[in-house]
A and B are shown apart, each in its own frame.
Chain A
């Protein structure tokens, strides 16, 4: 039992006996019971630190952090050094997210026993957790002194390396790294190296100093022999040759590697790298080649390289199965030769066709050839496709007869799409092709030899490509009905191939395009996205749900994501310590960098901010609202420029498969563009939230002062005063930033990634903001309003009248901005609820949902400000009512500028007006949402019988051949299934809409309640 060892040092056997079950209760989450027992134990033995520390841990687990911290202070004062107390304290601070306190705990403990190895080692690990490399080094050396062994010595060296890694300037690197090197050197000279990891560390130190020659010597020397567990030594050697510009050696080394392994891609690319370097500086090598005394045999011309490739080709043909390496290697050489390629190798078309002939039936064919399609001359494109068509060998209207033929046909289709053939087609032709693909899909079902649901079906690619074609048509004519049809086909395919995640991803995207939140949520759930995928794939779904009015689902996902980040940031620290224990020095920098990536993930920050907004949405009374607001102390940090600068994008855009031409694929520029959009959005939202946070603090402070004056406290507490003005300053600062950002939206509007680029998924919510800028104006006016209402006259020189005038202006502006927003909202809505054309009925629904949620978001923020304003006015009222004499007295002494009574009257009157404005607008929006729901229910999703794909079917001339009949039969069988499916999906989409709208209504009613519940004044 672990608990026994924990207490082995405890003198008090009674305590030990009684603590034992408590450990178990804590481990099992039975905190109430543990707390009860601990209280009894502490009463009996008040000097027992361990039970107090455990009580703190229990309190932390119960969420009573403040109590825990107080108790921890008490324990800390005793400077405990017994193991069980220390462990409990460590656990406490870990869970309180204060790892640096653990260091202090052990530092204190060591004061009593400075040469205790266990304590020192724990101290070392606690420094590792907080990345204090300097102290790590000192502690490791102290450990080494207590017990001279290799691990402690190398911990110290690694700590030095980390200091060099951390320091950005060259000077400190020039000092620290040589020190680390000398320390290892010493051990090498004394022949004390006894583990592979130590040599790895040495190589790392040499690398960081770019001492490649020395590295090479190690690799080739006796120490290199010890590196048998280390992987990637071949790669390392190659890299070193390149760094040292020993291209001839590299070339000859790579040749020898390739002869043994003709299919290793990295060797080919490196071989070419070295070849072209040699050719570049040919003179240098001219006299040496062939002369064994000088240099080993290497290639120094394209001709020689081609000969070498032939040699490899010969080896390849001797094998049972041809391998792709040599064929692709030729294409690679061709692409590297650029304009000279033709001179040596003729037209690329032959190379491409040669490859296709052999590997056309492999699913990797498209991915292999994709990078080389640009080598093909434009005028040869048609010929190329014609030859490919001949290889596939399918006549017009024929279907693949074998699985390899099907795969080959798919490769052909993918390549044709990639070279832009589909983009040349008009809508009619695209539909025809889509129809053809669909038939192929049905016909090729027979080739799915595996009926296992965990396997991806071989014919799925037809459907995926069809979905892309439908997407193309949508890009062209903007009719969402094509997207809806694609979802029908995709749902059909999904039912037969439930593990094909490409289908699920497409469904997710398409449902979101329609604004069908629940339907897309289902697709998301089916993808089973978790852990790191929450970060890398979260962009697919997380922020869409809020935009579509599914606040609860959004809130749940935010919470899951935030938990993932905060939990793992801690966990990674644990693995840093493990790496030291295991001597996995090569992984330490990687782990540190990974931790940073989690910490500064933009997705994390966005979820944090949006989660705050959504938690405010759920509030319907003043106290809860204030409580949430005052807990947002982490927000201003996110809003700071320095933090925003560190943001990292961990998204994986490559997961969405497509066969588009390069111009329609997501490039790095695109993904940077999207990242910048999100960064702007994050800044707006974080700054806005900071404004709310500081407003809340300011209001709280001002109100507290009001109350204090009432209860006859002698003057104001100077601390409070300064805090208040500090909050005011911060509010000013953030408001200014917010205004700048809002202006920037006008002056420098975000440019979206074009729709034709498939991988972009969705534009940032920034565009939603851009469209409804008036809403941002509402918010800004509100902040100014609250600023005026809450700031104390005494801190300013203005007169009552000026204040009142300013508030009036803000209030008027608010009304105007609200009117504008509502008008815009109604304009967007009217387009989407009065459509008669059945093929256009789904148009604009997503926009409607978006504008409504934006409006709700604005109303929500308005309610927050109303609550704050009321809170303040209320306290102000109390002050006047309870202390009329005092005020009268004051009135005499003070100048006439300050008159609380008239001030109160003026302020409260305007506030009442504003409350009415928000109230009215909330009702307006509520009516709007109800209208939309009523209209959409009436409209349905359009005419479900008018499916483009099927309509097109009937246009096909009746086919009397055997095959035509067969096709008809299949279509007949599937037609019924399809009709059912269409109905199901239409229902799914309609239900999604009403689900979203219902939730909006619920929230709006809640907001109404919140306003109604505001105390009267």
Chain B
């Protein structure tokens, strides 16, 4: 993914030459206490146990990651997510403790477009069509709700009809097309799909754009 290469490069330079840092608060994107009372999140679990993804899983997720559409990123990429958004990185475990799938996401954006983002979602072949992906997505939406996000978005290859129809069934719609988002031979376009959360009562965040955009124009 182009997207990630840029990200990693940025990070590399960053660690070499960023100005010295001082800190007033932990760099968190969202601090808002007292709005929500602690409550138990109830999710239709599909024989699943969700638990936080941890570093050890990087050695164990092969049954999921050898899948041809699932990218195995460099370690820093995963650690970035683990350090920033540990709550957004969850594993679905089978009764026997195997990794059935996982979701990796984050929250980002300006206050008026504050949203949850799905970076990676994948399920092992043996555990497909059991609703595991739905459970994981549900989780990410719940967390985003808690963080007071307007919507959740994700990118998907326009050719990946299976995934697109699954996302549609979960209530996602195509917001826009991003040209040549996926590098490869040839480059492939992506759909930017969105689902409005409860905060966006009028569902303004998901009104589709008429024209496709280029990667550079994305915010």
A152's closest neighbor in chain B, by CB? Answer: B23
Cβ of A294 within 8 Å of any chain B Cβ, yes or no, is no
Cβ of B203 within 8 Å of any chain A Cβ, yes or no, is no
Whole-angstrom distance from the CB of A327 to the nearest CB of chain B? Answer: 10
Q: A151-B24, A227-B38, A233-B38 are in contact. Are A536 and B160 (CB under 8 A)?
A: no
Chain B residues contacting A324 (CB-CB under 8 Å) are 46-47
| Residues of chain A in range 419-474 having any CB-CB distance to chain B below 8 Å | 450, 452-456
Which of the candidate stretches B14-22, B172-180, B208-216 sits at the interface with the other chain? B14-22
A592's closest neighbor in chain B, by CB? Answer: B55
Cβ of B56 within 8 Å of any chain A Cβ, yes or no, is yes
Could you tell me if A454 and B75 are in contact, using CB atoms closer than 8 angstroms?
Answer: no
Cβ of B79 within 8 Å of any chain A Cβ, yes or no, is yes
Cβ of A548 within 8 Å of any chain B Cβ, yes or no, is no
| Residues of chain B in range 36-73 having any CB-CB distance to chain A below 8 Å | 36-38, 40-49, 51-52, 54-56, 58-60, 62-63, 65-69, 72-73
Chain A residues contacting B21 (CB-CB under 8 Å) are 118, 121-122, 125, 581
Could you tell me if A323 and B146 are in contact, using CB atoms closer than 8 angstroms?
Answer: no
Chain B residues contacting A586 (CB-CB under 8 Å) are 86
Cβ of B109 within 8 Å of any chain A Cβ, yes or no, is no
| Residues of chain A in range 109-135 having any CB-CB distance to chain B below 8 Å | 117-119, 121-122, 125
Could you tell me if B83 and A578 are in contact, using CB atoms closer than 8 angstroms?
Answer: yes
| Residues of chain B in range 84-134 having any CB-CB distance to chain A below 8 Å | 84, 86-87, 90, 93-96, 98, 125-130
Cβ of A282 within 8 Å of any chain B Cβ, yes or no, is no
C-alpha gap A27/B17 in the complex (Å): 10
Query: Which residue in B26, B87, B126 is a CB contact (below 8 Å) of A195?
Result: B26
Could you tell me if B76 and A574 are in contact, using CB atoms closer than 8 angstroms?
Answer: yes
Query: Which residue in B37, B95, B147 is a CB contact (below 8 Å) of A368?
Result: B95
Q: A195-B31, A452-B162, A575-B79 are in contact. Are A536 and B59 (CB under 8 A)?
A: yes
Query: Which residue in B55, B59, B86, B126 is a CB contact (below 8 Å) of A584?
Result: B86
Main SS at interface, chain B:
loop
Chain B residues contacting A364 (CB-CB under 8 Å) are 94, 126-127, 130
C-alpha gap A575/B86 in the complex (Å): 13
One digit per residue, 1 when the CB lies within 8 angstroms of any chain B CB and 0 when it does not, for chain A 360-386 equals 001110011011000000000000000
Cβ of A337 within 8 Å of any chain B Cβ, yes or no, is no
Cβ of B183 within 8 Å of any chain A Cβ, yes or no, is no
Chain A residues contacting B162 (CB-CB under 8 Å) are 450, 452, 455
Q: A121-B20, A151-B26, A593-B55 are in contact. Are A265 and B48 (CB under 8 A)?
A: yes
Query: Which residue in A234, A594, A652 is a CB contact (below 8 Å) of B55?
Result: A594
Chain B residues contacting A652 (CB-CB under 8 Å) are 59-60, 62
Could you tell me if A531 and B23 are in contact, using CB atoms closer than 8 angstroms?
Answer: no
Cβ of A230 within 8 Å of any chain B Cβ, yes or no, is yes
Could you tell me if A654 and B60 are in contact, using CB atoms closer than 8 angstroms?
Answer: yes
Whole-angstrom distance from the CB of A208 to the nearest CB of chain B? Answer: 17
Chain B residues contacting A499 (CB-CB under 8 Å) are 67-69
Cβ of A533 within 8 Å of any chain B Cβ, yes or no, is yes
Chain B residues contacting A2 (CB-CB under 8 Å) are 13, 17-18
Q: A325-B47, A455-B162, A536-B62 are in contact. Are A587 and B82 (CB under 8 A)?
A: yes
Chain B residues contacting A87 (CB-CB under 8 Å) are 16-17, 20
Could you tell me if A655 and B66 are in contact, using CB atoms closer than 8 angstroms?
Answer: yes
Whole-angstrom distance from the CB of A824 to the nearest CB of chain B? Answer: 39
C-alpha gap A147/B79 in the complex (Å): 29
Cβ of B33 within 8 Å of any chain A Cβ, yes or no, is yes
| Residues of chain A in range 193-235 having any CB-CB distance to chain B below 8 Å | 194-197, 224-235
Could you tell me if A367 and B94 are in contact, using CB atoms closer than 8 angstroms?
Answer: yes
C-alpha gap A235/B90 in the complex (Å): 14
Chain A residues contacting B65 (CB-CB under 8 Å) are 533
Cβ of B198 within 8 Å of any chain A Cβ, yes or no, is no
One digit per residue, 1 when the CB lies within 8 angstroms of any chain B CB and 0 when it does not, for chain A 314-338 equals 0000000001110010001000000
Could you tell me if A584 and B83 are in contact, using CB atoms closer than 8 angstroms?
Answer: yes
One digit per residue, 1 when the CB lies within 8 angstroms of any chain B CB and 0 when it does not, for chain A 84-127 equals 00110011001000000000000000000000011101100100
C-alpha gap A6/B127 in the complex (Å): 51
Could you tell me if B23 and A149 are in contact, using CB atoms closer than 8 angstroms?
Answer: yes
Could you tell me if B48 and A263 are in contact, using CB atoms closer than 8 angstroms?
Answer: yes
Cβ of A583 within 8 Å of any chain B Cβ, yes or no, is yes
Could you tell me if B126 and A121 are in contact, using CB atoms closer than 8 angstroms?
Answer: no
Chain A residues contacting B26 (CB-CB under 8 Å) are 151, 195, 197, 581-583
Cβ of A535 within 8 Å of any chain B Cβ, yes or no, is yes
Query: Which residue in A226, A328, A578 is a CB contact (below 8 Å) of B95?
Result: A328
Cβ of B6 within 8 Å of any chain A Cβ, yes or no, is no
| Residues of chain A in range 321-357 having any CB-CB distance to chain B below 8 Å | 323-325, 328, 332
Could you tell me if B146 and A265 are in contact, using CB atoms closer than 8 angstroms?
Answer: no
Whole-angstrom distance from the CB of B28 to the nearest CB of chain A? Answer: 6
Cβ of A741 within 8 Å of any chain B Cβ, yes or no, is no
Q: A226-B33, A499-B68 are in contact. Are A531 and B38 (CB under 8 A)?
A: no
Cβ of B169 within 8 Å of any chain A Cβ, yes or no, is no
C-alpha gap A122/B25 in the complex (Å): 16
Chain A residues contacting B82 (CB-CB under 8 Å) are 575, 584, 587, 590-591
Q: A5-B19, A122-B20, A591-B55 are in contact. Are A571 and B49 (CB under 8 A)?
A: no
Cβ of B218 within 8 Å of any chain A Cβ, yes or no, is no
Could you tell me if B75 and A531 are in contact, using CB atoms closer than 8 angstroms?
Answer: yes
Interface residues of B, CB < 8 Å — how many?
77
C-alpha gap A655/B62 in the complex (Å): 6
Chain A residues contacting B4 (CB-CB under 8 Å) are none
C-alpha gap A453/B160 in the complex (Å): 11
One digit per residue, 1 when the CB lies within 8 angstroms of any chain B CB and 0 when it does not, for chain A 65-94 equals 000000000000000000100110011001
Query: Which residue in A537, A650, A654 is a CB contact (below 8 Å) of B98?
Result: A654
Cβ of B27 within 8 Å of any chain A Cβ, yes or no, is yes
Chain B residues contacting A196 (CB-CB under 8 Å) are 31, 33
Could you tell me if A536 and B60 are in contact, using CB atoms closer than 8 angstroms?
Answer: yes
Cβ of B74 within 8 Å of any chain A Cβ, yes or no, is yes
Q: A229-B146, A323-B47, A367-B96 are in contact. Are A149 and B24 (CB under 8 A)?
A: yes
Whole-angstrom distance from the CB of B182 to the nearest CB of chain A? Answer: 13
C-alpha gap A260/B45 in the complex (Å): 10
Q: A2-B17, A151-B26 are in contact. Are A265 and B66 (CB under 8 A)?
A: no
Could you tell me if B86 and A587 are in contact, using CB atoms closer than 8 angstroms?
Answer: yes
Cβ of A835 within 8 Å of any chain B Cβ, yes or no, is no
C-alpha gap A579/B76 in the complex (Å): 12
Could you tell me if B47 and A531 are in contact, using CB atoms closer than 8 angstroms?
Answer: no
Could you tell me if A535 and B96 are in contact, using CB atoms closer than 8 angstroms?
Answer: no
Chain B residues contacting A264 (CB-CB under 8 Å) are 45, 48-49
Could you tell me if B34 and A501 are in contact, using CB atoms closer than 8 angstroms?
Answer: no
Query: Which residue in B73, B90, B96 is a CB contact (below 8 Å) of A531?
Result: B73
C-alpha gap A537/B21 in the complex (Å): 39
Chain A residues contacting B96 (CB-CB under 8 Å) are 367, 370-371
Could you tell me if B58 and A532 are in contact, using CB atoms closer than 8 angstroms?
Answer: yes
Whole-angstrom distance from the CB of A256 to the nearest CB of chain B? Answer: 9
Whole-angstrom distance from the CB of A81 to the nearest CB of chain B? Answer: 11
Could you tell me if A229 and B47 are in contact, using CB atoms closer than 8 angstroms?
Answer: no
| Residues of chain B in range 179-193 having any CB-CB distance to chain A below 8 Å | none
Could you tell me if A535 and B59 are in contact, using CB atoms closer than 8 angstroms?
Answer: yes
Cβ of A913 within 8 Å of any chain B Cβ, yes or no, is no
Q: Which are the 7 A-B pairs with shortest beta-carbon distances?
A: A583-B26, A594-B55, A499-B68, A501-B66, A118-B20, A575-B79, A264-B45
25 sample A-B contacts, Cβ–Cβ < 8 Å, listed by A number = A2-B13, A87-B17, A118-B20, A122-B20, A149-B25, A150-B25, A152-B23, A194-B31, A195-B28, A225-B38, A231-B52, A235-B51, A265-B95, A363-B127, A367-B126, A371-B96, A499-B67, A528-B72, A531-B74, A571-B75, A572-B75, A575-B76, A575-B79, A578-B83, A582-B84
Binding site for A on B (CB under 8 A): 13, 15-28, 31, 33-34, 36-38, 40-49, 51-52, 54-56, 58-60, 62-63, 65-69, 72-76, 79-80, 82-84, 86-87, 90, 93-96, 98, 125-130, 143, 146-147, 159-162
Contacts A572-B75, A654-B98 given; 18 further ones with Cβ under 8 A? A6-B19, A118-B22, A119-B20, A224-B38, A230-B87, A231-B90, A264-B49, A265-B47, A332-B95, A367-B126, A370-B96, A456-B125, A501-B67, A531-B74, A581-B23, A581-B27, A587-B86, A594-B56
